[in-house]
Structure 1
Amino acid sequence: MGDVRNVLWIMCDQLRWDYLSCYGHPHLHTPNIDRLAARGVRFDRAYVQSPFCGPSRMSAYTGRYCRSHGATWNGFPLRVGEPTLGDHLRKVGVVPAIVGKTHMVADTEGMEWLGIDPGSTIGVHVSECGFEPWERDDGLHPPGPYGGHPRYDEYLRSVGIDRDDPWDTAANSGRGDDGELLSGWLLKYSHLPADIPEEHSETPYMTRRAMAFMEEMGDRPWLCHLSLIKPHWPYIVPAPYHAMYRPEHVLPPVRSQAELENDHPVYKAYRESRICRSFSRDAVRERVIPAYMGLIKQIDDQMGVLFDFMEKRGLFGNTMIAFTSDHGDYLGDHWMGEKDLFHDPSVRVPLIVYDPRPEADATRGTARDELVEMIDLAPTFLAFQGAPPKPHILEGRDLAPLLHDSAPPARWRRYAISEYDYATREARQIIGNDQKDARLIMVRDARWKLIFAEGFRSMLFDLETDPDELTDLGADPATADVRERLEAAIFAWARQHHNRITMPPDAIERMTGGEPPGVLIGFWDESEYEATFGRPFSERG
């Protein structure tokens, strides 16, 4: 491959694992993403560390669980000093760049306390999850704590779309029968074409920006995090993608009457929220899901443009490519909308990894069912770039054993963990519990998925007999032993070292059994000292 290695990390926003043809969707054909899967490894049991944008991404960018980095909800700053993937890569001469969304909020209070100028090199890195901000654009928000979308708005004005906030009024709005502007924020108008030429919409724009970054890097090693804003709401897509799918392409919702009778306080509170009540209506699903599928089809077409660009420049020969999502979307399954809880439509994501090394030739085009987590990508990328392992900081695992060996590894993780802090959500108001108790932890093994709910009983699903997760066995006396075992697994996970990040294992080994220089503890007399160190006490130093 040569000495220069690169990483392209593509992350969609709110893309379900099962809305790609390589994962089995019967109507949504994604040949370009499938093409990547044919050259790499498709992971069938990949889980994010939180089913919401901000905390999921902070785990991805740090390689650490939410309980370790502390940014447990959207808008909760990632504290100054929390090491990131970009920080680690920069130390080995790799340029880590962001093109698109991070959903990070900078710890401005911590920066002020430490005297860090936000405009300085360190201040920019601290404010951007350790990335170089080639094109930071979180979308979804006007200018504010997430940064808005000023460069994209500037671009739209440069091509003649000169409106107030053209992201909102063009890229994410449509036109009615009388030419009136109708907002894509309203689900009723999801079927309309976005009022923007397709080539100027967000996904093609960001893809071109990623290609421009690669061109500029030349022979410098890089990591490009192409973080697409779609298919996240607003659910509206430009022509011709708005008309590619119709209600007959909408899969039936995965839900049951028994779920409506489930009296678990947390699940019941979410079902009562406006978002879930809305997506429980078939009319909403039939209006929104075709647009959601169109957004994904547009992403796939742009992946074709991107991969062709890379092929022509020989970048497939030295670039690791990972394609994934920060979480899924319920789309009415389980009587839910958005992505708040831990059913697979929400917390399970697509993950495809292409490794250009010849060691990966044996696994190309294969699928794996080992449990993998989003935090595994950071150590995988670092190892690929030749960086030393950092097990005292990174809680994920290098995926190389799964990328290089077709046989199951002798030891791999038994459990996948995900966390959720719902302190700011409407559900907590409905329940009436304290914000410190608004905490959920999911653990799943090869068969079972348990959701520990602070202050309430756990929810439990048997994924072998109930793969659609329709029957909550958390109150069933027959599953008491399973609940006890999985709750013990959460407790064991919680007890692991996760904040001893300033002392690597080899340094601890060097310290073990000794005392600081010049410190003598427990010696009785000079002869004991001489017997221990082989020199007279008078020569101590």
Structure 2
Amino acid sequence: MKKYNIILITTDQQRYDTVGELAPDYMRMPHTQYLINQGISYTNANAQCPLCVPARISIMNGKFPQTTGSTTNCETTDVMGTRNTLPDLMRQAGYQTIAIGKMHFGPQRAKHGFDEMIIPDDYYRQMQRSGSLIQPMHHGMGQNEIYPALSTVPEPMTLTSWISEQCVEYIRDRRDPSQPFFMWCSYSKPHPPFDPPEPYYSMYRGEEIADPVFGDWSDDEHAPLAFKRLRQMWGYDKISPKIIKEAKAAYYGLLTQIDYNMGRIFSALQDFDMLKDTIILFTSDHGEYLGDHHTAAKFFLHQASTHVPFILRLPPSMGHKLGGTKQDIPVTHADILPTLVNLAGGTVPEDVDGQDLMAVLEGKEKPRQYVEMVSQMGMLESIGITDGEFKYMWYLEDQCEQLFDLINDPQELKNLAGLEAYKGVQEELKQALIESEQTKKLNYVKDGKLTTIEPLNDDERHRRANPWPGYHTEYCDIDVKH
């Protein structure tokens, strides 16, 4: 069996509607479009737990967050170890393995089966030791603020550019050319702060950027308690429409910068005549509300947060005719391990939850019927399930239920829960969620019913509504451009 090089490219916090025909017409994403034209686009890809670490654990071990119990930004050693992880299985299949970029492992230097790791800490240490008077992140913006800011370093000195340069150097100089390689290139953007360098900072500021969308359930009168609490805690309800549009322009700029840098990696592969023999899988760990439904960030289970791009580009030398095709089957991050390991000629452990997408495509496996989702950040708990047509959600604190028609209402503007016409669909999805969760670690079912949690007391509610000053609470209507 021929051994193809394999590259997994991930972004952090990229919405599904920023690629292909769903992206705004003015967005420039030629290298992402190249992958779409040559690959299989999975249009129903879901982040089962829309948070950085749980998504990466699923990528590494092929298991659902509900199976491992990993639903927060926790340490990863006990969950993943070093055996039968994605890179370890690749090594067993004869591949050299390297991780470049944001892994978000804990401890950070835990290799979890990789031969080599190059992480953002190396970049920041290099920048500090350079003695340069200009340093990244000196604009003072926080890691969860969506206010736009200009990067304090030029494009070649940004982390995005540095990650790409490390990938290019590996392809050109540092790999063993007698062995195939598996590379995970993990960009830390467009996760906040939204601070692209020029020309990307200004690239979309003059465009007619669409307003956020607001569901009939998303105002303070109708929103779930946990949903309202997040925007109160982090001040998302104080951001003006003008700032939201500028934030979206910066967000799109970060994505175009990533796209440009992906082109550098593709060019390096082409220089060594390797592009035609390289499998590339592109996805993101979760999405970003970006002002939709009066909030930002991720955590909850609406499409803006859970629906991610997912493109599998098989090399032309495999002789397939799948370029430019679409698949609407439900897929998750857990599918990455069995899919790539089988493409590498390796052996997939029997206890993984994920599916080999090639086996599904070839009719050897049936696609899953449902994808379950969970959000478990403190008091922001909710669980959900989707069959690709409808999505059902349950909020533990106030027993709020939501049901959305994803085919006719993909932006989830109308909550159908409780409507007589959709009673059957709601009950079917709810029972499927109950039956599945009974076998999982998270204890969301008791006596055949979905569980609840005690509401916050008055003191705790006041504290959450009045966080300490300076933590994502103050947004000024000025242009932070240094």
- TM-score bucket of the superposed structures, by smaller chain: 0.7 to 0.9
Residue 102 of structure 1 aligns to a residue whose secondary structure is coil
1:482 equivalent in alignment to 2:388: no
The one-letter amino acid of 2:328's match is D
Match of 1:417 among 372, 377, 381: 372
1:202 equivalent in alignment to 2:159: yes
Counterparts of 1:123-522 in structure 2, within 5 Å, are 127-137=110-120, 149=121, 151-157=122-128, 161-162=132-133, 166-169=135-138, 173=139, 183=141, 190-192=148-150, 194-215=151-172, 216-217=174-175, 218-246=177-205, 248-256=207-215, 258-260=217-219, 261-279=221-239, 281-356=240-315, 361-390=320-349, 392-401=350-359, 411-423=366-378, 428=379, 439-454=381-396, 456-495=399-438
The aligned counterpart of 2:470 is none
- Distance (Å, rounded) in 1 between the aligned partners of 2:330 and 2:344: 24
8 Å CA contact 2:214, 2:413 repeated in 1 = yes
Superposition deviation, residue 383 in structure 1? 0.1
The aligned counterpart of 1:88 is 89
8 Å CA contact 2:359, 2:365 repeated in 1 = no
Superposition deviation, residue 159 in structure 1? 5.4
The one-letter amino acid of 1:375's match is A
**Deviations 1:62-95 (CA, angstroms, capped at 9, x unpaired):** 1111122232101344416654212322222322
Superposition deviation, residue 263 in structure 1? 4.5
8 Å CA contact 2:155, 2:198 repeated in 1 = yes
The one-letter amino acid of 2:165's match is R
Superposition deviation, residue 44 in structure 1? 1.0
Superposition deviation, residue 245 in structure 1? 1.0
**Structure 2: 5+ residue runs without aligned partners?**
443-482
Distance 1:161 1:394, change over 3 A: same
Superposition deviation, residue 449 in structure 1? 0.2
The one-letter amino acid of 2:88's match is D
Higher mean C-alpha displacement, 220-229 vs 351-360: 351-360
Superposition deviation, residue 9 in structure 1? 0.3
- Distance (Å, rounded) in 1 between the aligned partners of 2:126 and 2:39: 35
Residue 297 of structure 2 aligns to a residue whose secondary structure is coil
The aligned counterpart of 1:102 is 103
Higher mean C-alpha displacement, 264-273 vs 50-59: 264-273
- Distance (Å, rounded) in 2 between the aligned partners of 1:486 and 1:368: 22
- Distance (Å, rounded) in 2 between the aligned partners of 1:22 and 1:471: 24
Distance 1:371 1:481, change over 3 A: same
What value does the CA root-mean-square deviation take over the aligned residues? 2.7
Residue 305 of structure 2 aligns to a residue whose secondary structure is helix
- Distance (Å, rounded) in 2 between the aligned partners of 1:359 and 1:189: 45
- Distance (Å, rounded) in 2 between the aligned partners of 1:268 and 1:15: 23
The aligned counterpart of 1:142 is none
The aligned counterpart of 2:67 is 68
* Higher RCO (CA 8 Å, separation ≥ 6 residues): 2
The one-letter amino acid of 1:399's match is L
Distance 1:394 1:275, change over 3 A: farther
Residue 230 of structure 1 aligns to a residue whose secondary structure is strand
Higher mean C-alpha displacement, 2-11 vs 259-268: 259-268
**Deviations 1:42-78 (CA, angstroms, capped at 9, x unpaired):** 1111111211111111112111111222321013444
Residue 272 of structure 1 aligns to a residue whose secondary structure is helix
Counterparts of 1:34-49 in structure 2, within 5 Å, are 34-49=33-48
Higher helix share: 1
Distance 1:470 1:22, change over 3 A: closer
**Deviations 1:373-396 (CA, angstroms, capped at 9, x unpaired):** 111111011101111232x32111
The one-letter amino acid of 1:267's match is F
8 Å CA contact 1:457, 1:475 repeated in 2 = no
**Deviations 1:168-215 (CA, angstroms, capped at 9, x unpaired):** 32xxx3xxxxxxxx65769697243x2212111111110110122223
- Distance (Å, rounded) in 1 between the aligned partners of 2:302 and 2:65: 19
- Distance (Å, rounded) in 1 between the aligned partners of 2:383 and 2:217: 23
The one-letter amino acid of 2:8's match is W
8 Å CA contact 1:184, 1:236 repeated in 2 = no
- Distance (Å, rounded) in 1 between the aligned partners of 2:319 and 2:440: 32
Residue 246 of structure 1 aligns to a residue whose secondary structure is coil
The one-letter amino acid of 2:433's match is I
The one-letter amino acid of 1:30's match is M
The structure that has the greater radius of gyration is: 1
Superposition deviation, residue 453 in structure 1? 2.7
8 Å CA contact 1:21, 1:29 repeated in 2 = no
- Distance (Å, rounded) in 1 between the aligned partners of 2:22 and 2:146: 29
**Structure 1: 5+ residue runs without aligned partners?**
108-123, 138-148, 174-181, 429-437, 500-541
Superposition deviation, residue 238 in structure 1? 1.1
8 Å CA contact 2:146, 2:192 repeated in 1 = no
Residue 378 of structure 1 aligns to a residue whose secondary structure is helix
Residue 435 of structure 2 aligns to a residue whose secondary structure is helix
The aligned counterpart of 2:53 is 54
8 Å CA contact 1:45, 1:370 repeated in 2 = yes
Paired positions, count: 436
The one-letter amino acid of 1:473's match is L
- Distance (Å, rounded) in 2 between the aligned partners of 1:381 and 1:275: 41
Distance 1:477 1:363, change over 3 A: same
Superposition deviation, residue 258 in structure 1? 4.7
**Deviations 1:294-317 (CA, angstroms, capped at 9, x unpaired):** 111111111111111111212223
Superposition deviation, residue 269 in structure 1? 3.0
- Distance (Å, rounded) in 2 between the aligned partners of 1:470 and 1:361: 39
The one-letter amino acid of 1:328's match is G
